[in-house]
Structure 1
Amino acid sequence: MKNRTLLKYHSIFGILGGAFLLVLGITGSILIFNENIDSAIFKKYEVEKTGSARNIDKAVETIQKHYPNWDTRLIKFKAGQTLIFNLRSPEARKYVFVHPDSGDIIKEIDANSHITKWILKLHYSLHAGVVGRFLILFAGIAFLFSIITGTILYRKVFWKTLLFKTKLKWDNKKNRYSGLHRYVGVWALFLNSIIVVSGVFLAYKVASAGLKPASKAVTPIINTSTELLLTKAQHEYPDFTPTYVRLPTSEKSNMVLYGIFKNDPFYYSEFYNKLEADINTGQIVKATKISEASVGTKLESMITPLHFGQYGGWPIKFLYALIGLSGPFLSVTGFIIWLKRK
């Protein structure tokens, strides 16, 4: 394929996905720090130090009394700190903060209006429902093809650009933006490819889920101790660290502890390890380990951590945020180059 034809397709894919890329890049760079943002906002609902006190059973009882038939997840349960529940229904989502000792509700907030959740929804659906989800999927595919055509187009100068052996020309705007576009595109290529491929996969799952009708949970009353279940899990699986508790959503489902096994690679998602317990006996009836899963499942478990940079500390987060902003930069410079060429 001739370079002129490649450039034509590269421009088309860039223009098709460009407007969406501005939103995706900026929101994605913010979402890299979503846990840090949430921690800072939720700090005002934190109780004064209560030692090692933690009464999850009383908190679960309170939640089930005040919020029957909500899909209930306990997302923070560190001893001596405020317990945080994430509640979901087909129409709404809530964060509920509960005192770790008394089990009293401290605060309830609308999760859909919470800043990080609002940005996340903008990121994956543009707040436009199912149509927005498919537009994001379309934009991701367009950006992926833009990366592929751009890589082929600049293949002869790739290594020279990577090693700063090609000079930037500042004599006119077209050459100036073209040089910057090439340098940023080449230097961000590897991580952008990971973000885009994983993003297309996630967008497909989100778009597909949007076609299915939402079901309302019918949450049974828990007849066993969640606190004892956590103790039992620690005893029976000492290499397992629970990070997330999901209450059953029907009479036939189990309580589930999600978490991390000690020897798991850092790039696996915590939601692919789980211990399931009977809500009447408290016995652990099933253990699922990502280390024992199929290759396909292992690859799937890597998608979210790789897309949002959840596998590293601050250096990785800042790198992801910087690369995330490269998308909007490439979109704007690419559009300017296209206009100058026209």
Structure 2
Amino acid sequence: MELKKRLTKIAFKIHGWIGLTTGALLLLFGLTGAMLMFRADLDHYFNNDLHMLQPGSTQVPVDSIYRMLVRSHPNLKKIVLHDFPVDRYDSYEFMLYKNQQGITDNYLYFVFVNPYTGKILKEGSYQDIVPSFFRWLYSFHYSLQLGAPGKLIAAIVGLVMLLSLVTGTIVYRKHFWAALRFKAGLNFKNRRTAVSSLHRIIGVWAVVFNFVLFFTGFWMNKDFFRPGAWAIKEPILNQGTPANIDSVISKASAVRGFTPIAVTLPTLPGQDILVRGKMAATSFFLLQGKASDISFSAITGQLKEIRVIDQQSREKRFDWEIYQLHIGAFGGNFVRWLYVVLGLSPGVLALTGALLWLKRKR
């Protein structure tokens, strides 16, 4: 009995200090993550000029746009055709991966192109808030706009919060079953009991979701614990591919059951053209999206390999499942709103926990 009491006391102290030291970050991650759940919808609403174009009689080949970007934007590791036009009024969105020249640099750059004229409609770095607030927000959520150090901080916060969940479970273990059966109601006897009961109930109901959220956040940034992820390379001289990009996309679209979603275009010799998308045969909900891919020779444009996500290694499937779990890219609007509500719970718990700590100190 004494050991249990001592363990609970230690867990309570650790749980409290974690909440106090990470509270601000949890609020930031929760608020930015909530907004990012509806990023595409909000981005379309506030940038209507990019998605309500005047249709033309002919379209500029993707191959021409790709070669224009290779010439006009130096020092790129790769170019990704991130989004095809969803209808005849929409634009192309390209994501350019820059070769970082500093550990805090943001390597992501976006370019919107008019498919009828080939002209750039809007472009900018994910590091700048003015060209695109939601792309700036995306980078802030994953790296605090600090590059590699920011991603390491995000990974560490994920690990620390997993410890917080463990210690919280130890402290409130007696209340779990009651809270899950809706037997532990709010106690409004005084302000402290109201905050305490609210903290306990929210913590119990959100524990599984928060475990998933923090573990996936850590897993996606785990590489930044390795020195190799911090390496700065020499500037790159872009080189276009001999193969025709439109021909490659056409061949990928002809593959039975495959729907192209994005295209990775090389800027260096020896890289393949990669068309990523969805296989109709893939049914598992966490393996949806652009999880499968088809590689093509950048020299001849010939199909080299079809990689269906269901047939990939356990590690690759797990990495994609982790990503899907973290962004809530399944289940439609119900799941997205659930992520918004539960995603704010760590910040609420940090706030109520801080109030309890202040009351206790007084």
1:101 and 2:116 aligned:
yes
Which of 92-101 and 143-152 deviates more? 92-101
**Cα pair distance change 1:130/1:104, threshold 3 Å:** closer
1:241 and 2:259 aligned:
yes
Q: Distance in 2 between matches of 1:88 and 1:225?
A: 21
Q: Distance in 1 between matches of 2:234 and 2:33?
A: 29
TM-score between the two structures when normalised by the length of structure 2: 0.86
Map of 1:73 onto structure 2: 80
Task: Map Cα deviations across residues 121-170 of structure 1 (whole Å, 9 max, x no partner).
Answer: 32233233444333322222221111112123222221211222123221
Match of 1:140 among 158, 173, 177: 158
Trace 1:277-296 onto structure 2 (pairs within 5 A).
277-296=296-315
Query: Shift of the alpha carbon at 1:262?
Result: 1.2
Map of 1:33 onto structure 2: 38
Is contact 1:305–1:311 with CA below 8 Å preserved after alignment? yes
Map of 1:123 onto structure 2: 141
**Cα pair distance change 1:117/1:205, threshold 3 Å:** farther
Q: Distance in 2 between matches of 1:245 and 1:84?
A: 11
Match of 2:97 among 67, 85, 88: 88
Q: Distance in 2 between matches of 1:28 and 1:82?
A: 26
TM-score between the two structures when normalised by the length of structure 1: 0.91
**Cα pair distance change 1:77/1:127, threshold 3 Å:** closer
1:23 and 2:33 aligned:
no
Is contact 1:20–1:136 with CA below 8 Å preserved after alignment? no
Map of 1:14 onto structure 2: 19
Aligned residues between the structures:
341
Structure 1 residue matching 2:357: 3-state secondary structure: helix
Q: Which runs of 5+ in 2 are unaligned?
A: 102-106
1:56 and 2:74 aligned:
no
Which letter maps to 1:187?
A: W
Task: Map Cα deviations across residues 252-291 of structure 1 (whole Å, 9 max, x no partner).
Answer: 1111111111122221264542211112211011222211
Is contact 2:241–2:298 with CA below 8 Å preserved after alignment? yes
Query: Shift of the alpha carbon at 1:59?
Result: 2.0
Is contact 2:74–2:236 with CA below 8 Å preserved after alignment? no
Match of 1:159 among 177, 192, 199: 177
Q: Distance in 2 between matches of 1:52 and 1:328?
A: 51
Map of 1:328 onto structure 2: 347
Which letter maps to 1:49?
A: P
Query: Shift of the alpha carbon at 1:176?
Result: 1.0
Which of 43-52 and 83-92 deviates more? 43-52
**RMSD over aligned Cα, in angstroms?**
2.3
Which of 284-293 and 176-185 deviates more? 284-293
**Cα pair distance change 1:200/1:108, threshold 3 Å:** closer
Is contact 1:62–1:104 with CA below 8 Å preserved after alignment? no
Is contact 2:55–2:116 with CA below 8 Å preserved after alignment? no
Q: Distance in 1 between matches of 2:47 and 2:314?
A: 38
Map of 1:204 onto structure 2: 222
Q: Which runs of 5+ in 1 are unaligned?
A: none
Query: Shift of the alpha carbon at 1:51?
Result: 7.0
Is contact 2:278–2:292 with CA below 8 Å preserved after alignment? yes
Map of 1:339 onto structure 2: 358
Map of 2:203 onto structure 1: 185
**Cα pair distance change 1:67/1:138, threshold 3 Å:** closer
**Cα pair distance change 1:5/1:69, threshold 3 Å:** closer
Q: Distance in 1 between matches of 2:236 and 2:257?
A: 32
Is contact 1:240–1:261 with CA below 8 Å preserved after alignment? yes
Is contact 1:73–1:87 with CA below 8 Å preserved after alignment? yes
Map of 1:311 onto structure 2: 330
Is contact 1:276–1:284 with CA below 8 Å preserved after alignment? yes
